[in-house]
């Protein structure tokens, strides 16, 4: 019995020694894995049919250590929302999308599993939302990024419909 305890302790110490001897790239990889697992419940689905807007937003979110998946249509996003192996924690979508499934349908689907959690929706014109979603009027990627950060880091659910009209000065930002 004592021999087994010694062996287990030795194996643990050896594992710790090897992991501490790992180079900077190994440590950086472990750090990224820790951040990704910490943010796993904060996986963000970005749905936008504009590839430049979508990829800009995705790259900025990944630079901030968020786990991000993207879709260019409502149908693809719908399947991602239904993928229980990789759950979605937050949703940004454009209201008008190609195909039969638009951003409003995606928001309803999202709310089936995330009751009381706001969706950030870019719409041609701001309008109210019974679910407390954040409706942005034709935002820039920077405005969407800041809205996502504010909702996630604040850990807040928007209590009433938030409507933000991004005028030309904010769209240029």
Query: Are both 34 and 44 inside the same structural domain?
Result: no
> Using CA atoms, how far apart are residues 68 and 59, in angstroms rounded to an integer?
9
> Using CA atoms, how far apart are residues 25 and 50, in angstroms rounded to an integer?
35
CATH number, residue 94: 3.40.50.2300
> What integer pLDDT is reported at residue 141 of this predicted model?
95
> Using CA atoms, how far apart are residues 109 and 117, in angstroms rounded to an integer?
12
> What integer pLDDT is reported at residue 125 of this predicted model?
80
Count structural domains, the chain.
2
Query: Are both 107 and 158 inside the same structural domain?
Result: yes
Query: Are both 5 and 62 inside the same structural domain?
Result: no
Query: Are both 14 and 64 inside the same structural domain?
Result: no
> What integer pLDDT is reported at residue 130 of this predicted model?
77
> What integer pLDDT is reported at residue 173 of this predicted model?
37
Query: Are both 31 and 83 inside the same structural domain?
Result: no
- In this prediction, the residues of the chain whose per-residue pLDDT falls under 50 are 5-23, 28-40, 156-173
For the sheet with 134-137, list strands across it: 68-71, 44-47, 90-94, 120-123, 134-137, 162-165
107 neighbors 131 (Cβ within 8 angstroms): yes
Query: Are both 34 and 62 inside the same structural domain?
Result: no
The residue among 170, 129, 168, 144 whose CA lies nearest residue 64 is 144
> What integer pLDDT is reported at residue 26 of this predicted model?
54
Identify the domain containing residue 3 by its residue range: 1-38
């Amino acid at each position: 019995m004592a021999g087994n305890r010694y062996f287990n302790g030795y194996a643990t110490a050896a594992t710790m020694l090897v992991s501490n001897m790992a180079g900077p790239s190994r440590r950086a990889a472990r750090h990224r894995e820790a951040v990704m697992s910490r943010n796993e419940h904060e996986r963000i689905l970005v749905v936008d049919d504009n590839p430049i807007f979508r990829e800009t937003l995705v790259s900025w979110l990944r630079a901030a250590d968020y786990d991000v998946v993207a879709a260019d249509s409502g149908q693809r996003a719908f399947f991602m929302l239904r993928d229980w192996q990789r759950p979605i924690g937050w949703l940004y979508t454009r209201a008008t999308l190609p195909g039969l499934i638009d951003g409003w349908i995606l928001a309803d689907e999202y709310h089936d599993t995330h009751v009381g959690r706001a969706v950030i929706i870019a719409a041609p014109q701001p309008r109210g939302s019974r679910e407390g979603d954040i409706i942005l009027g034709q935002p820039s990627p920077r405005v969407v990024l800041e809205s996502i950060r504010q909702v996630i880091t604040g850990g807040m659910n928007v209590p009433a419909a938030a409507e933000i009209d991004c005028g030309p000065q904010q769209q240029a930002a």
